[in-house]
Structure 1
Amino acid sequence: MTLNKFSNWMRVDLHIHTDWSKKTKQNDYKGNFSVDTLKTKLKENDVQIFSMTDHNIINYEAYNEYYDAYNPVEDPLLLVGVELDIVVTGGRPESYHSLLIFNHSDKINAKRLYDALEAKYTEKGIGDYDRVLSIEEIVVLFPNEDFFFIPHAGNTKSILTSYKDDLNTAQKMVLLMQSAFEKVPEKNVSRYNEGFDKHLVESFRKKEDKAYVQFSDNHNAANYPCTGKEGSNHEFYYLKGSKSFETLRLAFIDPKSRIMSEEQYSSLEGQTNYIESLRISGDPVLEDTEITFSPHLNVLIGGRSSGKSLMMSMLGEKIDGVDSHQNIYDVDFKNANIKSFRDASYQTVTSIPKEEITYINQNEIVSYFEKKNLLVLAKAAGKEDEYHFQKQQFTQHKDDLNNLLEGVLDKYNQVGGHSEFNKNFVLHGTTIESLLSGEYVFKLENEQIFKEHDKQKLIEDSFENLENLAVNSTIFKQNSFLEFSDEELKIIQDFENLLSLKKSLVQEKDLKQTKKKAFLDETKKLVIEQNKLLSLSARRKADALDSMSQFKRDIGQRFSRLAQLKKTTNQFQDFDYSLQKEMLIAENIRLVVEIKSDLSLNEIFLDGIRGGNTSESIYTNLLGVLSGNKTIKSYNDITVETLRRKSKALLKEVYKTLDNPQDYLKYEDGSTSERNSPGFNSEKYLQIILHNPTSKFVFVDQPEDNLGNKFIAQTLVEILREVKFKKQVFLVTHNPSIVVYGDAENVIIAHNDGSRISYEQHVIEDPSAQKEICSILDGGEYIFEMRSKKYNIQKLLKDNENE
């Protein structure tokens, strides 16, 4: 058991009896009591603060024996205490039990308090087994004593039972005193809190700041930590702090942050690694020191140019995963060594994966919004991969747009340019006369027949599918990791045989297809040859039929190409190049990546056509270009290459925007980082990075520079209190709320005398440290004072006066 340099969790047991309890209660102790036995048991169970609280008496002899051999480093701290029977006139039962734990840990005061109690009982003429005092008598008896009042509140001798006909009085009394409740079942806590809250104004309610503790109530030191004389082993409660009376005070003021049950402590998410310490030795600027860090919240404070930010920079220099720290100081950190929990000894640099680290330099938060670069925020929130995926959607969107444009250009090119587009289709009168003649001719529409029976596309697709299946089957079979059985290998072989069989079937169909085509082609040749043997007028009719077929093909091709051009231009102009992608980056906060389309593609594209009409479609305007009624601006021709150069130039800004989309944050109320102040955005940013589940180490230099006081007091401190038990946090700050309400486990104070920089380590439960913290932080004294005033005491006093 050693003294901690930071506030740490410790077992506390303030309810242990000695054999002197038998002097005031019949058969109240089992076995022989021994101070040495109790000390050994306490150390075996890692108890660091305790009290010997006998019934209505203080065993000053046991206190003397313990204090005579007390080692403040190795031994648990013993606070003077007693368990009193407190009488309630008219109560049923008339008395309840309460611990009184005094701010004393020495022989003189133990004997003085013993004498005061004994004198009071003698004055009242009360026998040893009938000792009781009223709360009023206790207050008068110890008017200047600093003590905690810890009544039983859940079993026999409960304060609530004695005051069951007047609970209001009991509740107000407990609120007005330095107190906690002992022996309260967990299921009753919320009901008790509701009872307290009704005496408080709204702003003081539902604070979870009423303290509930469980101690062993041990009556048999030889069997410690048993409860009572021979009960089951006690499940310890943990208080956070150091070995001092002030630890109790802060725990009872802020139980949510400083008191845990055995179950809560066991479920605490401990760090598998953390920065354990930093040692500076032999440096010309920095004083020799060794600083031990808390696994939870470490704050660095100091005056202007004191070296507090230098310490943060030093830590950044000593961790290989930090790549963003700013070393702006003319100090060589070679004389500083660091040690993480995983390091066997001090290292020049410790190794921590960069994805586990969030490191924010001073004023860096607000700059992210000013530079409009939220990639860093996405990284800090553990969302970098998702951010890049969202950006890839914009690249794909750009490719889709470009493919649509190329489709338009391809179909434009197929139409054939100005001369081809304006080519006339002529069917001569003689051809028509021949078509209408009554001559007999041979006729075969072989292309139409073949088209109706063409299976070539199906054949090609089937071949491709079978080839892919065969390749994948081979890869599948050769995968030794899958450990195929003989039966499974036979199934695979049967499947491959099936593929081979189907491949033969497709080859057979392909051969039949080829033969059909050859047969039709040969038949067509025979028809042509036979028509040559007919009369002149019959031959003219045969030629006219061929011309008519070609005429229909040419017209059909023209309309088909124009239809394809219309289809692709419609797809292009209907394409919405605006795009918005969102990702949840923190609770109720989304990171939005977006581009907006101020102009339609119709407007953009037609800006390149002289005489372009935006009320008409791109297709109609391109027909105007092809017909010669319109031209491409700045060019003398209408070739596809000219149209490509022009359209690419027109879409350059759209492509550029898609390459660099805008990003911003969208908040729960619908507002965005674009329309909020830098301070408001910084608040949201800090919330995001502190809640990043992948980050195990957080370093922030003076976050309050860009934050509002209300946010710090109401939001930031609550976030810190939550996340500091999940990750190690380092903050440089000059804001007392962060230190005090954030309940920092470790306070490092930087000093600069002009020639040397030094660092001191403190805990806020140390009264002398509180004074120094107050002298450095503006408003620190007020914050400490306000923290100690948990309740609206003035209202309670006024209510008591009215009653």
Structure 2
Amino acid sequence: MSINYDRGSEWRKWDLHVHTPSSICQNYGGDTDEAWERYISDLESLPQEFSVLGINDYLFIDGYERLKKEKEENNRLQNIDLLLPVLEFRLNNLAGVGFGKLDRINLHVIFSDKIPVNIIKDQFLNTLVQSYIINDGRKWEGVVTKDSLVELGAEIKSGIPAEEISKYGSDLEEGFNNLNLNLENIIQSLNKERFKGKYLIAVGKTEWDAMKWTDASIAIKKHIINTADIVFTASESVVKFNSAKEKLVQQRVNSRLLDCSDAHDHSSSLNKDRIGNCFTWIKADPTFEGLKQVIYEPEERICISEENPFLLFDKPYFSAISIDNDLNVFDGETDLTFSKCKIIPLNQNLVTIIGGRGEGKSMLVEYLASSFVDNEQSKDGIFNKNGAVKILYNKTNSDSEEIISFDIIEGKHPLEFIYISQGMLKKYAGESEEKNKLADSMKKLARLNEVSFDDHLDHEIITKIDRYSELKSTLEYKNEEGISTNSMSFLHERKDRVQSFINNITTEDNKKKLREYASDLESLNKSNKKLSNINELERYLLNAVNDINLKISSLNLSEDIPLIDNSSFDAQQTKIALIKSTVSEDIATSSQSVQDVRSRFESYKGDLSTLLEDVKDYQSELDSINSKILEMQMFSTELVSIELDIFGAGSDSSSLLDKMEEDYKEQASNLAKSWSNFKDISLRTDFNDTQKKLMGSMLEDLDAEIVIDFNPEAFYDKVSDCIDGSKWRIKNNNEAKAENFGISDFSSFFDFLRSNFKDMYDRDGIHQNILKDICFKDFHRRDYIKIYPVLKYKNKDLNKVSAGQKGTVYLKMKLATSAFSKPIIFDQPEDDLDNGFIVEDLIELFKELKKYRQVIIVTHNANLVVNADAEQVIVATNDHGKLSYISGSLEDSTINSEICKILEGGDRAFNNRRSKYQNVK
């Protein structure tokens, strides 16, 4: 088993162009032991983020061979995970370019560290032959060795005039300076089975860029760079690197550019080309196979930055799982067990969990999620949770101390993340979905404004319709004999009758005195009534001010706001006291007048006491009738006013029904604005341009039409409660009810309320209060009037698309609502989503999303693993009921093999990815 990096692909710094003291051109002090010791110590002092070095020498491999021995045999360079042998050559096919030293294109061959040094020497370097015609037509030909270069240099210098010889270097240097190899010969020497898939070619951008774009050179210029797998440059800054890369993109040539130090000097040098001056981060295992990933996924795997890309975007993530002891998965069952294992570290980007059927891939995430969401069991049983399984959660990737350890035990842990269980999308988006159920889910996901009737308007409507009902009931009241005792005709008839009683019980001599007596009694009764009313008002104000001041005191104690002064009704209290004094004086005056009238009956010969008592009773009744008449007149006037307020007949101002109807339309308008704001990514100032583009891609196929939906069936089901079936025989016949009420939609509902409600309200066989509540109380209206978005996917009503497309929409919405924060765990997305969406959209979506949130998916779809470039693959295995897990990266040979073995189309997925780059070896 080859797995060494079980967290999968992680960002590390790679410098693939580091010369050694053995290089023909270098400034380390020469190929001496002292120079080598200083050089190695310099490499050992590199910052800890450096993981891989390409040991680069011109033509020869001696420097790499020495460093490899120092690392493996002398325990040096333990800070570096990988040394790769890199050979650098200068090419001879430079059409249109001058032949000065700096104009030669440098070609680099990067070999796998698995190829022995002697194989590189014998099967590659010793096969490179070059020939020249030198001095007097003599021919030089030889295999590239240091001796042959010395020989070539000597031959070249032999024809130089003596006075010029001091301008030239040693024979070795001059041989090297004049040796130019043919690109096709190098490729031919590499074209051996033993090298297949074990080398990469890089070309130096600076020298390549110096080639002229002429008719004679354009073809060879493009051929050279496009033959290479990657391009090397040594930039002074990230800004200059980006400029160089953009130029390659514009020229439409190979732009897989890596920044390298091209180190010829120690790190202490001011020279740009020094040890450690490199900005390249590669997200891969520190292996040659890891390096090859930049060919397949250059935009995903390469980052040129001064800081670790791991820190470029802060995100919380699950960082590790541990199983301390063997653990039965289900209570009371022993046939399925989580095997004890070391910590499984989790990558913060895309983690895929694979395995055959029944191997425990879904079981792991289902078990873990059960400790955080409302899911205590799987379809197979109740989970056994005793704390043996733990999961670590990093609150941030910028502080390794901000970690929470969750023991998987009974009860729920308070942690929010998105968990989409197997089949969950079908639950929300199945073919039998009610038309507004999915819309409600979408409204919550999009955090659209909650649709709710205006509380103040609702209160006003209910208050007035209740008062309307109360007034109608009072004015139309009938006693047991069916007499309308509150009608004006009845009250005036009673008044006339009582007045007649008073007139009939006295003589002409006493009539004037009795009228005065009755008048004084009436005044006294009115004053007493005034006093009673004013006392009642005083008590009400006192209670009200006490309640108000209690709330003010509570607010002053609990809120961080300026103190609010207590309330009072001092002005009203003063006025009340004045009125009470005046009324008391009136009572005293009226009482005295009553006594005075009684004293004037001294000459009366009959039963004075009975006479006056009768008059007093009749007068009291008369006063009561007059009050009743006044009250009914006021009620009648109020009823007319309330009818105008509610129904608006004959009124130019907006009625409450107008306002109620308009409120629904306003709610729909607000919901439409809320949806528009949700889709308008330009408003999101918290997103960068890349995030806005990603969000736009998730939402571009979605739209919404806001509807006010009136459900006639739900309405008429409710109307049944207000019909007296013994008097009106349509109680259980919705068709007949619809014919009588005439309501079929939102508009006709309000037409009915305006024009026909009052008639229906008075109809025999209708329970008035029930009808009133059904039509006017928001609590009831919510059952048959709903406002919701009719979501559309690619211009189709969401209720008319396939279940897979509904699942696609739901997933897009769920991801879009918190795309750049919470981790997401998704169990087998391919079960619920259209395959076209997975291939065309989901893969690219996950590739982008994982930059901003951790994505963990359980899958048997090879494309989601390979083409989404999963940073980590966890392989689940069931060995006779014992579940175990190994993890690693795509580039790991064991993981690679498991993907091809377990996942259908695994080989095809890898081949499809490779086919995107025709030059992959």
* TM-score greater than 0.5 by the shorter chain: yes
Distance 1:470 1:138, change over 3 A: same
- 2:95 corresponding residue in structure 1: 89
After TM superposition, the structure 1 = structure 2 runs for residues 343-382 of structure 1, keeping only pairs within 5 Å, are 347=407, 349=409, 353-370=413-430, 372=433
From 106, 110, 117, the counterpart of 1:107: 117
After TM superposition, the structure 1 = structure 2 runs for residues 54-93 of structure 1, keeping only pairs within 5 Å, are 54-60=57-63, 61-66=65-70, 68-69=72-73, 75-87=80-92, 88-92=94-98
- 1:511 corresponding residue in structure 2: 577
1:218 aligned to 2:263? yes
How far did 1:764 drift? 0.9
From 200, 203, 207, the counterpart of 1:151: 203
From 268, 277, 284, the counterpart of 1:241: 284
1:567 aligned to 2:645? yes
After TM superposition, the structure 1 = structure 2 runs for residues 318-357 of structure 1, keeping only pairs within 5 Å, are 319-320=371-372, 323=375, 326=378, 328=380, 337-340=389-392, 347=407, 349=409, 353-357=413-417
Matched residue type, 2:112? N
Structure 2 contact 823–854 (Cα < 8 Å) conserved: yes
- 1:37 corresponding residue in structure 2: 41
TM-score by length of structure 1 reads 0.72
From 362, 370, 375, the counterpart of 1:309: 362
Could you give the per-residue CA deviations for residues 372-418 of structure 1, whole angstroms, max 9, x where no partner exists?
5999999999958968x837669999888766653442232233336
* Distance in structure 1 (CA, Å) of the matches to 2:709 and 2:52: 65
- 1:735 corresponding residue in structure 2: 861
Structure 2 contact 323–340 (Cα < 8 Å) conserved: no
- 1:53 corresponding residue in structure 2: 56
Matched position secondary structure for 2:425: helix
Matched residue type, 1:18? T
* Distance in structure 2 (CA, Å) of the matches to 1:80 and 1:37: 19
- 1:638 corresponding residue in structure 2: none
How far did 1:765 drift? 0.8
Structure 2 contact 11–283 (Cα < 8 Å) conserved: yes
Distance 1:758 1:719, change over 3 A: same
After TM superposition, the structure 1 = structure 2 runs for residues 139-538 of structure 1, keeping only pairs within 5 Å, are 139-144=187-192, 145=195, 146-153=198-205, 157-165=206-214, 169-171=220-222, 173-183=224-234, 186=239, 189=242, 192=245, 196=249, 210-221=255-266, 223=267, 228=271, 234-260=277-303, 261-263=305-307, 264-271=309-316, 274-278=319-323, 281=326, 285-286=336-337, 289-290=341-342, 291-316=344-369, 319-320=371-372, 323=375, 326=378, 328=380, 337-340=389-392, 347=407, 349=409, 353-370=413-430, 372=433, 390=450, 405-417=465-477, 419-420=484-485, 423-424=488-489, 504-515=570-581
* Distance in structure 1 (CA, Å) of the matches to 2:777 and 2:558: 49
* Distance in structure 2 (CA, Å) of the matches to 1:117 and 1:405: 101
* Distance in structure 2 (CA, Å) of the matches to 1:601 and 1:344: 50
Distance 1:751 1:664, change over 3 A: farther
* Distance in structure 2 (CA, Å) of the matches to 1:275 and 1:567: 66
Structure 1 contact 83–100 (Cα < 8 Å) conserved: yes
Structure 1 contact 397–658 (Cα < 8 Å) conserved: no
Cα RMSD over matched residues? 5.7
Matched residue type, 2:366? S
Matched position secondary structure for 1:390: coil
Query: What stretches of structure 2 of length at least 5 have no aligned partner?
Result: 130-142, 154-174, 329-334, 395-402, 479-483, 500-514, 601-621, 649-654, 680-694, 729-738, 743-747
Distance 1:380 1:53, change over 3 A: farther
Matched residue type, 1:84? F
Matched position secondary structure for 1:274: strand
- 1:130 corresponding residue in structure 2: 178
How far did 1:663 drift? 6.5
- 1:632 corresponding residue in structure 2: 765
How far did 1:784 drift? 0.9
Distance 1:660 1:52, change over 3 A: farther
Matched residue type, 1:512? L
Matched position secondary structure for 1:413: helix
Structure 2 contact 348–853 (Cα < 8 Å) conserved: yes
* Distance in structure 2 (CA, Å) of the matches to 1:162 and 1:136: 18
* Distance in structure 2 (CA, Å) of the matches to 1:682 and 1:233: 50
Distance 1:557 1:741, change over 3 A: same
How far did 1:512 drift? 3.4
Distance 1:591 1:659, change over 3 A: farther
Structure 1 contact 407–568 (Cα < 8 Å) conserved: no
- 1:485 corresponding residue in structure 2: none
Name the larger-Rg structure: 2
Matched residue type, 1:65? K
Distance 1:460 1:653, change over 3 A: closer
- 1:700 corresponding residue in structure 2: 826
1:558 aligned to 2:636? yes
How far did 1:175 drift? 3.5
Matched position secondary structure for 2:901: helix
From 688, 691, 708, the counterpart of 2:813: 688
* More displaced stretch, 12-21 vs 57-66: 57-66
Structure 2 contact 321–389 (Cα < 8 Å) conserved: no
How far did 1:341 drift? 5.3
How far did 1:625 drift? 7.6
How far did 1:651 drift? 8.7
Matched position secondary structure for 1:133: coil
* More displaced stretch, 724-733 vs 343-352: 343-352
Matched residue type, 2:284? G
Distance 1:417 1:562, change over 3 A: farther
Matched residue type, 1:152? G
Equivalent residue pairs, number: 733
* Distance in structure 1 (CA, Å) of the matches to 2:428 and 2:904: 29
Distance 1:47 1:293, change over 3 A: same
Could you give the per-residue CA deviations for residues 424-456 of structure 1, whole angstroms, max 9, x where no partner exists?
38699999xxxxxxxxx9999999xx99xx999
Matched position secondary structure for 1:359: strand
Distance 1:394 1:54, change over 3 A: farther
Matched position secondary structure for 1:558: helix
From 692, 710, 724, the counterpart of 1:597: 710
Distance 1:162 1:522, change over 3 A: farther
* Distance in structure 2 (CA, Å) of the matches to 1:18 and 1:379: 66
Distance 1:183 1:683, change over 3 A: farther
TM-score by length of structure 2 reads 0.64
Distance 1:306 1:668, change over 3 A: closer
Distance 1:210 1:216, change over 3 A: same
Structure 1 contact 374–663 (Cα < 8 Å) conserved: no
* Distance in structure 2 (CA, Å) of the matches to 1:612 and 1:361: 50
* More displaced stretch, 185-194 vs 374-383: 374-383
* Distance in structure 1 (CA, Å) of the matches to 2:439 and 2:30: 63
1:4 aligned to 2:5? yes
Matched position secondary structure for 1:269: coil
Could you give the per-residue CA deviations for residues 83-130 of structure 1, whole angstroms, max 9, x where no partner exists?
333342322563133433122444324544554568247489461233
- 1:748 corresponding residue in structure 2: 874
Matched residue type, 2:36? F
- 1:13 corresponding residue in structure 2: 15
Structure 2 contact 468–639 (Cα < 8 Å) conserved: no
Could you give the per-residue CA deviations for residues 557-591 of structure 1, whole angstroms, max 9, x where no partner exists?
42332432453456676544967584668854689
